[in-house]
Amino acid sequence: MTASGAGRRRRTVICALPLLGFVMAGALAPVIAPYDPIANDLMASLARPSMEHLLGTDQLGRDQLSRLLYGAQASLILAAAVLAVSVTVGVVIGAAGGFLGGWPDRVALWLMDVTLTLPSLIVALAILGVRGHGSANLVLALSLTGWPPFARLARGRFVSLRRSAYFDALQVLGASRFRILFQHALPALAAPVLVYASIEIGFIVLSLAFLSFLGLGIPPPEPEWGQMLIDARPYLDSALWLALPPGLAIAAVVLASNLLAEQFATDNLPLVRLGMPRRRARMNGSTAGPYRVEELAVAFAGRKVVDGIDYRVAPGRALAIVGESGSGKTLSTLAPLGLIDATARVSGRAVLGQVDLLGGGPAIQEAVRGRRVGVVLQDARGALNPVRTVGALLDDAVRHAGVVPRGRERARSLELLKMVGLPEPESQVSAYPHTLSGGMCQRVMIALALAGEPEILIADEPTSALDVTTQAQIHALLADLRESIGMGLILISHDIAAAARIADDIAVCYAGRIVEVGPAADVVSRPDHPYTRGLLDAVPSPKAVPGTRFRTLPPAEPARRKVSACAFAPRCAHATKRCHVEEPPLQPVTPGHTSACWVRPTVARPIGYDGA
């Protein structure tokens, strides 16, 4: 432990001491209290503090120290009960809304908004006025309006997780939504809930004292700090010692709870960290074979964003799916694995070997992810758990994949790091993601994707945030891995030139459809579709004269695509009337090379811009 870490923990302990003291005092009250807290002794009424009664007695001769100790027990037990109910209800409602989205989220938000508009103490007064005194009614009154802050915390964290690359990474490694919820989301929520709960302790104790002061708290003669203040009020001039102990106790708890919350907030609380599920999928038809996607369609709110995409990847082959942002290339690869928003409507077929991914439903998709299919996400740093070391992340992935005997996870993790070319893997296993460069994080992400020895590896823009040199290294690594392991590779990219260097085949995607597909050499040397030629024109050429302007496509118009028209026609300089009224199918250009265009090119264009 570092000196700064020891100092932070020492300050945390100091801030918690008053609360711990009152908790211990309340718990040990039956043992250490010198007198019965409700026993009257009128002969000792209003006795000053002395060796017999250290804090004096009240108007009925009851020992103040004993009542203070039992009052700590009553106040803190009630505070703990209110806090437990508020945290449980709030986290359940907030987590359900944030994690599920859709109508559960709207209902959760509505409940939170309505409850937050109600003044908490006014609601408590109303409930106690109707239902009467009692501990159960006090817990109900205070927790009824105490849960929304915890629900907001839970919802915010879960919505952020659901939209993060880390959530996608957990899914592609094979974690189910249930396990993500309980092993990763809820532990991550522990720190902010603990901070806010620390503040709430003081507020609840103060609220209980306030309600008791109004005569709506724990009914006498049971001791409670607020009730002790009521009893002391008529004697403030003559017996000040009656009001000071309970008043100071309340102030100490409120101050300590706020200081503790501030300390928790400034101290980096360690998150609870649990591993990936330790199980091996059992599924029929797991024989290795080609991966086929046929007539894939994806729709959101009734609008198709992927429409009739087909592609095939054989073991040991590499397919590059290229296109602009929003063309549908990522959706077409992640949708068959169930890695897109649950509101999407996905249809078509996706078959890996003999396993129907879409027909089998979420259970089959979950069993395939992280084992037979690996995914390398675009934002590698965001996809890695920031509070776990590289070795711990890989160990979990290897354990989850079940490809090595128990106890050999670390050895396999080191093998994977060496395989992806991470320098000095023995020292890097103890490193955290934030200490690694972008290229190193991407190599770790590739190692995670390879942990299950997948038959298909999907690399989604794996070099988009890297410098040119590192991009070349990652592309070379993917090409080497594909050849050495014999797995199929699907590379998603907007850079058709880079894709052509490692892919056997290229599929060009535009507006949710494949507009051209064929062998990489044919597509880049003899492009048929005008959109493919536009992508190639965007590739720099060393032959170009410095200062030469690139020939670019016209900007995309707002989506007004007709069902019976070419989606690219509004941007195409060669479009004919037929292009605006009839959608072209994929037609053969050369053997194995097809294109969806009514206009045949007259001049083949090589890869790169040649200044013409």
**pLDDT at residue 195 is higher than 50:** yes
CATH code for the domain of 309: 3.40.50.300
Query: Are both 161 and 253 inside the same structural domain?
Result: yes
For residues 275 and 153, the model is more confident at: 153
Average pLDDT, stretch 86-110? 87
In this structure, is residue 416 part of a structural domain? Answer: yes
Query: Are both 237 and 166 inside the same structural domain?
Result: yes
Residue-wise pLDDT for 147-163, tens only, equals 888 888 888 877 767 76
Question: Model-level pTM?
Answer: 0.61
Is residue 184 a contact partner of residue 157, using CB atoms and an 8 Å limit?
no
Query: Are both 304 and 335 inside the same structural domain?
Result: yes
In this structure, is residue 578 part of a structural domain? Answer: yes
In this structure, is residue 477 part of a structural domain? Answer: no
Residue 492 has what pLDDT? 92
The confidence band for 604, taking pLDDT boundaries of 50, 70 and 90, is very low
**pLDDT at residue 448 is higher than 60:** yes
In this structure, is residue 2 part of a structural domain? Answer: no
Q: Which of 480, 482, 477 is nearest to 463 (CA)?
A: 477
The confidence band for 166, taking pLDDT boundaries of 50, 70 and 90, is low
Residue 457 has what pLDDT? 92
**How many Cβ atoms are within 10 Å of 553's Cβ, its own excluded?**
17
Residue 226 has what pLDDT? 83
In this structure, is residue 597 part of a structural domain? Answer: yes
Residue 274 has what pLDDT? 34
Query: Are both 448 and 461 inside the same structural domain?
Result: no
Structure-token pair, residue 64: 């103040």
Residue 550 has what pLDDT? 63
What letter would DSSP give residue 589?
E
Instruction: Name the burial class of residue 516, with classes exposed (0-12), middle (13-18) and buried (19+) by CB atoms within 10 angstroms of its CB.
Output: buried
Residue 366 has what pLDDT? 83
Picking from 266, 300, 322, the residue at the C-terminal end of a domain is 266
Residue-wise pLDDT for 543-557, tens only, equals 666 666 666 677 766
What is the residue range of 70's domain?
60-266
Query: How big is the CA angle at 523 (ends 517 and 526), to the nearest 5 degrees?
Result: 130
The confidence band for 312, taking pLDDT boundaries of 50, 70 and 90, is very high
In this structure, is residue 30 part of a structural domain? Answer: no
Query: Are both 215 and 140 inside the same structural domain?
Result: yes
In this structure, is residue 505 part of a structural domain? Answer: yes
The confidence band for 220, taking pLDDT boundaries of 50, 70 and 90, is confident
CATH code for the domain of 92: 1.10.3720.10
| Percent of the chain surpassing pLDDT 70 | 85
Residue-wise pLDDT for 45-60, tens only, equals 888 888 988 888 888 8
Residue 542 has what pLDDT? 63
Query: Are both 365 and 502 inside the same structural domain?
Result: yes
C-alpha dihedral sign at 357, 362, 367, 370: positive
Query: Are both 248 and 293 inside the same structural domain?
Result: no
**pLDDT at residue 602 is higher than 50:** no
Picking from 237, 266, 295, the residue at the C-terminal end of a domain is 266
**pLDDT at residue 3 is higher than 70:** no
| Percent of the chain surpassing pLDDT 90 | 13
Residue 288 has what pLDDT? 57
CA 190 to chain centre: 14
DSSP 119-154: -HHHHHHHHHHHH-SSHHHHHHHHHTTTSHHHHHHH
Picking from 204, 233, 266, the residue at the C-terminal end of a domain is 266
In this structure, is residue 321 part of a structural domain? Answer: yes
Residue-wise pLDDT for 414-433, tens only, equals 989 888 888 888 888 888 88
Give me the number of domains the chain comprises: 3
Query: Are both 209 and 344 inside the same structural domain?
Result: no
Residue 350 has what pLDDT? 92
Identity of the highest mean pLDDT range in 201-215, 218-232, 375-389, 522-536: 522-536
Burial letters 54-83, b for 16+ CB under 10 A, else e = ebbbbebbbbbbbbbbbbbbbbbebbebbb
Query: Are both 77 and 127 inside the same structural domain?
Result: yes
The confidence band for 607, taking pLDDT boundaries of 50, 70 and 90, is very low
**pLDDT at residue 282 is higher than 50:** no
**pLDDT at residue 137 is higher than 70:** yes
For residues 473 and 491, the model is more confident at: 491
Query: Are both 459 and 447 inside the same structural domain?
Result: no
Query: Are both 240 and 290 inside the same structural domain?
Result: no
Instruction: State phi, psi for 515 to the nearest 5 degrees.
Output: -100, -15
Query: Are both 120 and 241 inside the same structural domain?
Result: yes
**pLDDT at residue 311 is higher than 90:** yes
